[in-house]
A = this chain, B = another copy of it.
Amino acid sequence: MSSLRDVAERAQVAVSTVSAALNGTRPVAAATKRRIEQAAAELGYRPNLLARGLQSKRTRILALLFPAPRSGFGLTEMQFATGAAEAARELGYHLLLSPEHADPIEELRHLTGLGLVDGVLLMEVRLDDERTDFLTRAGVAFSMIGRTRDPGPIDYADIDFAATARDAVAHVAGLGHRKLAFFNHSTDAYAAQYGPAIRAGEEFARAAGAAGIGYVDDFRPGSAEEGGRAFEALMAAHPDVTALAVMDDHAAVGVLAAVAARGWRVPEDLTLMLVLSSSRVAEMFHPRLTTLEPPSAELGRLGARMLIDRLEGGPPGEGGPQGEGGPPEGGPPEGGPQRRLVPCRLVIGDSSAPPRPYHGGLDPEQGEPPYGRGSPNDLQNGSA
């Protein structure tokens, strides 16, 4: 690879002049500049990022901390990565994919100590996330995809759960449903700290309340089997529920099976929708399920962009508070943290329809329930 010096020799100037000409660091005579640019082009010169980074203390490399794929891991997580990588590239940065495993903190200490990355992008952020403490303490720039319970001054991009829940409720209410059930993720060790599960649960309840429709969220099936059982239990306890929103893909499989088992059909007897599942997943179902598709790639892009903004905005203090332990005082540079909330996209499938007219004492074995009267008129799409 040709270096700056090669270009300098070829253009008959000093190295520093080449550097200046190429970076616009200081004025260079037009003629000289032209010669330099031509020489650089002829040699196919590319600045060496390492040398530049060593000097400038800025590598233009970001690290995305990538958790070990747990169950329920899918397209969404991948799209964080691709979105972030693309945004980074567009802004002249690179994205390092750093797998997390046993000890995230040790991992982080190692990674940030290498001087290789300018900032870190966190995903799968838990409500209480030790990684954020470490990073702020270490004075490392970072942003989050998702957010902790109290993000404080940290930049983040997350799903707008309130808007998402409103859209979902508006959708089913617009179809005429009067009572909605919500199956959240299973309450295992992880989900207990998993932001989306918590926030979606809260916001669905709130949205249903605001819309004045009935609401049930007593079930948390984490598998197909549990999904089926939960649906049966739901019908037993709340036979007037006609619409169901499900967080867990596999649970939805069980629901569909249970619906079929009692001779019912979707959407005639039940409006079923996925929450936070990509439309690619929703299409795997039969019928194609309505879903609230998370804006994963967009969140990845935003996360990267926010981080870069911060990096460019003001070089973070060298080192930052080490072990002092005090919470960072005085807001972040240039007017407060960036907080971006983006709603899911409602993708209407073939599993949404008006509720059947009557349900009360109908014998399930009677088979074919009557078709709804109203034609499935234009479906409302909330705050898109």
Contact = CB atoms under 8 A, between A and B. Distances in A.
B79 A69 contact: yes
Contacts of A285: 253, 284
A249 to B, nearest CB: 6
A49 B97 contact: no
Contacts of A347: none
Interface string A228-262: 00000000000000000000011001001100100
A157 to B, nearest CB: 18
Interface string A50-74: 1101100001010010101100001
B249 A115 contact: no
A99 B74 contact: no
Interface in A40-95: 44, 46-51, 53-54, 59, 61, 64, 66, 68-69, 74-75, 77-79, 81-82, 85-86, 89, 94-95
A212 to B, nearest CB: 34
A114 interface: yes
A69 B253 CA distance: 26
B94 A94 contact: no
A116 B50 contact: yes
Contacts of A47: 114
A81 B54 contact: no
Nearest to A54: B50
A4 to B, nearest CB: 12
A82 B66 contact: yes
Interface string A89-130: 100001111110100000000100111100000000000000
Contact of A49 (B85, B89, B115): B115
Copies in the complex: 2
A210 to B, nearest CB: 33
A280 interface: yes
A50 B99 CA distance: 21
A283 interface: yes
A284 B249 contact: yes
Nearest to A280: B74
A55 to B, nearest CB: 9
A99 B89 contact: yes
A46 B283 contact: no
A97 B99 contact: no
B85 A99 contact: yes
Given A50-B54, A86-B99, A253-B286, 8 more contacts: A47-B114, A48-B114, A48-B115, A49-B114, A75-B75, A82-B99, A250-B284, A257-B286
27 contacts: A1-B113, A46-B110, A48-B54, A48-B114, A48-B115, A49-B115, A50-B50, A50-B115, A61-B96, A66-B82, A74-B78, A74-B280, A78-B81, A81-B81, A86-B101, A89-B99, A94-B98, A94-B116, A95-B97, A95-B98, A97-B97, A224-B288, A249-B284, A253-B283, A253-B286, A260-B286, A281-B284
